């Protein structure tokens, strides 16, 4: 199945040469509804509709359920099926006692926002265990990754309308994903890790977007020791990074970066 990533449009451009009519492309925004079944209490129940880029939809679904604590490993998934038009992703999970309660309210998640964390979510996040990792990387490596990361963003270069996220080890970028939503891009990365059995404990996450508390919590749950962004962190993200022993790096552009917490991992 293939869904167009772009849409052709006609625009009027105004610049120093005046006003001209031109052809252009915009990034496609796609609605994906995740339905859940557990073989006992729930069958094909709509859980959430995510507004996203129409790529790596299975990974997005897995990553979303992982972030939402519906699943914790690929062993929790019986099957995953994407409809022919890519609008419905049905995930059959093994029986889980908390599933019916979580399905009481269906949500819509827009491309521009996070998961609308509640105070309870943040309280649970405060209980996350500290990330223990001996990984250390050089500042030159982060600078190199940041440059490679930017050059890999094909959808962004074509439209200017996407965020990106990547998983790296000490030597290479292992997984790279783009999406109109920064949370979606990260979920796609973690979804592929889950699907392929890739360990994240000794890895680094790169993201193009702002690092909010939700983004930091998402990484902490996967025991990611280093989170790097080309943009800025929020105050609550920094607070959680300090508590979770995560090295938080922002404004990683060109030859510079700001290290906000646990700088000992950056040589």
- pLDDT tens, residue by residue, 108-147: 676 655 555 554 455 555 567 899 999 999 999 999 999 9
Residue numbers annotated as active site? 113
Task: State residue 95's pLDDT score.
Answer: 75
Task: Specify the CATH number for the domain of residue 260.
Answer: 3.40.140.10
* Domain membership flag for residue 92: no
Number of other residues whose CB lies within 10 A of the CB of residue 19: 8
Residues 6+ apart with CB under 8 A from 122: 213
Residue 228 lies in domain: 139-265
* Domain membership flag for residue 110: no
Task: State residue 113's pLDDT score.
Answer: 53
- Give the chain's residues under pLDDT 50: 119-120
* Domain membership flag for residue 171: yes
Please choose, from the candidates 187, 208, 36, 32, the residue with its C-alpha nearest in 3D space to the C-alpha of residue 115.
187
What angle do the packed helices 182-196 and 57-67 form, to 10 degrees?
A: 90
| Phi, psi (degrees; rounded to nearest 5) at 160 | 70, 20
Q: How many domains does the chain have?
A: 1
Which 3 state secondary structure label does DSSP give 240?
A: helix
* Domain membership flag for residue 175: yes
* Domain membership flag for residue 7: no
pTM score above 0.95: no
Please choose, from the candidates 212, 140, 125, 224, the residue with its C-alpha nearest in 3D space to the C-alpha of residue 175.
224
* Domain membership flag for residue 259: yes
* Average pLDDT of the chain, as a whole number: 90
Classify residue 79 as exposed, middle or buried by CB count within 10 Å of its CB (0-12, 13-18, 19+). Answer: exposed
């Amino acid at each position: 199945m293939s869904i167009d990533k772009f849409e052709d449009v006609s625009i009027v451009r105004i610049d120093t040469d005046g006003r001209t009519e031109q052809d252009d492309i915009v990034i496609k925004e796609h609605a994906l509804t995740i339905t859940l079944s557990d073989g006992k209490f729930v069958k094909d129940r709509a859980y959430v509709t995510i507004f996203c880029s129409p790529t790596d939809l299975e990974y997005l679904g897995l990553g979303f359920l992982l972030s939402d604590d519906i699943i914790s490993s690929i062993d929790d998934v019986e099957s995953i099926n994407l409809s022919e038009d890519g609008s419905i992703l049905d995930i059959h999970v093994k029986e889980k006692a908390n599933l019916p309660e979580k399905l009481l309210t269906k949500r819509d998640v827009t491309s521009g926002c996070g998961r609308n964390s509640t105070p309870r979510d943040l309280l649970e996040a405060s209980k996350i265990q500290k990330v223990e990792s001996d990984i250390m990387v050089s500042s030159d490596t982060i600078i190199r990754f940041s440059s490679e990361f930017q050059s890999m963003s094909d959808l962004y270069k074509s439209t200017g309308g996407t965020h990106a996220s990547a998983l790296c080890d000490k030597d290479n970028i292992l997984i790279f994903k783009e999406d109109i939503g920064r949370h979606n891009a990260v979920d796609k990365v973690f979804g592929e890790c889950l699907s392929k059995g890739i360990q994240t404990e000794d890895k680094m996450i790169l993201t193009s977007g702002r690092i909010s508390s939700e983004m930091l919590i998402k990484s902490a749950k996967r025991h990611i020791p280093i989170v790097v962004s080309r943009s800025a962190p929020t105050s609550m993200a920094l607070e959680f990074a300090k508590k979770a022993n995560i090295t938080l790096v922002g404004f990683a552009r060109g030859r510079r970066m700001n290290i906000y917490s646990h700088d000992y991992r950056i040589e």
